[in-house]
A and B are shown apart, each in its own frame.
Chain A
Amino acid sequence: QVQLQESGPGLVKPSQTLSLTCTVSGASISSGNYYWSWIRQPAGKGLEWIGRIYTSGNTNYNPSLKSRVIVSMDTSKNQFSLKLSSVTAADTAVYYCARGGYSKSGFDYWGQGTLVTVSS
């Protein structure tokens, strides 16, 4: 069974960089031809896809966030990570990691989500 678990600071100051890690078990992020994605959801709102990384390491980002986002992977730890720079209160949300790439059949496994609040 594939499982994903997000981790990282729950509070980030404005203008700083939000950093989260997703630890994957039950599957290898470096094989199987899968995308691995980050998605976020502000309280009471819908889902916004942030970006993805492929098994090969190739990345794609939501154009609306592209200038501030980096998704990377550490195959030795079977983890992938999100960095979102220059955060504001508008970046406060529950952040999910998921297997899938915001294309074709979407996301078949999700993490439980982690709340990140941007506040001084």
Chain B
Amino acid sequence: DVVMTQSPLSLPVTLGQPASISCRSSQSLVHSDGNTYLNWFQQRPGQSPRRLIYKVSNRDSGVPDRFNGSGSGTDFTLKISRVEAEDVGVYYCMQGTHWLGTFGQGTKVEIK
């Protein structure tokens, strides 16, 4: 199985400041069809997960443009340009290139 490793696991941030979460995979996530299936999910406290980003850098409908995904191969990053109170929660990366898909452990974002 492909192992997804997120860091940090806990991320205290100041409102209005940027935040960055790293996600590394144990194998390249480039699919045979040429796409890289690395996705990001946000789970606010008490809520269901919500997909933010798919295929590395594509924002889902309604996702604020302060969320940006980047990366390639085995190294990926989710950046929040200016953290807002509503961004508190746990963020998961997930690879869908290799069967069986894999979630990262999650990164908890909290306000300092």
What's the least CB distance linking A25 to chain B, in Å?
16
Binary CB contact string for chain A from 97 to 110 against chain B (1 if under 8 A, 0 otherwise): 00000111111101
Beyond the given pairs A47-B106, A106-B39, A107-B49, 20 more chain A to chain B contacts, judged by CB atoms under 8 angstroms and listed by A's residue number, are A46-B92, A46-B105, A47-B92, A49-B100, A62-B100, A96-B48, A96-B49, A102-B96, A102-B101, A103-B101, A104-B37, A105-B54, A106-B37, A106-B51, A106-B54, A108-B60, A110-B49, A110-B50, A111-B48, A112-B48
CB atoms of B100 and A63 under 8 A apart: yes
Chain B 35-80 interface residues, beta-carbon cutoff 8 Å to A = 35, 37, 39, 41, 48-51, 54-55, 60
* Chain A at the B interface: SS class: loop
What's the least CB distance linking B91 to chain A, in Å?
11
Q: For A46, list chain B residues within 8 Å (CB).
A: 92, 103-106
Among A63, A105, A107, A108, which residue has its beta carbon within 8 angstroms of that of B55?
A105
Q: Tell me if B94 is interfacial: C-beta within 8 Å of chain A.
A: yes
**A103→B55 CA distance, assembly (Å):** 11
CB-CB nearest in chain A for B104: A46
Binding site for A on B (CB under 8 A): 31, 35, 37, 39, 41, 48-51, 54-55, 60, 92, 94, 96-97, 99-101, 103-106
What's the least CB distance linking B93 to chain A, in Å?
10
Q: For B99, list chain A residues within 8 Å (CB).
A: 103
CB atoms of B48 and A106 under 8 A apart: no
CB-CB nearest in chain B for A46: B106
Q: For A63, list chain B residues within 8 Å (CB).
A: 100
**A112→B44 CA distance, assembly (Å):** 12
Q: For A113, list chain B residues within 8 Å (CB).
A: 48
Q: For A47, list chain B residues within 8 Å (CB).
A: 41, 49, 92, 103, 106
**A84→B39 CA distance, assembly (Å):** 28
What's the least CB distance linking B31 to chain A, in Å?
8
Q: For B39, list chain A residues within 8 Å (CB).
A: 105-106
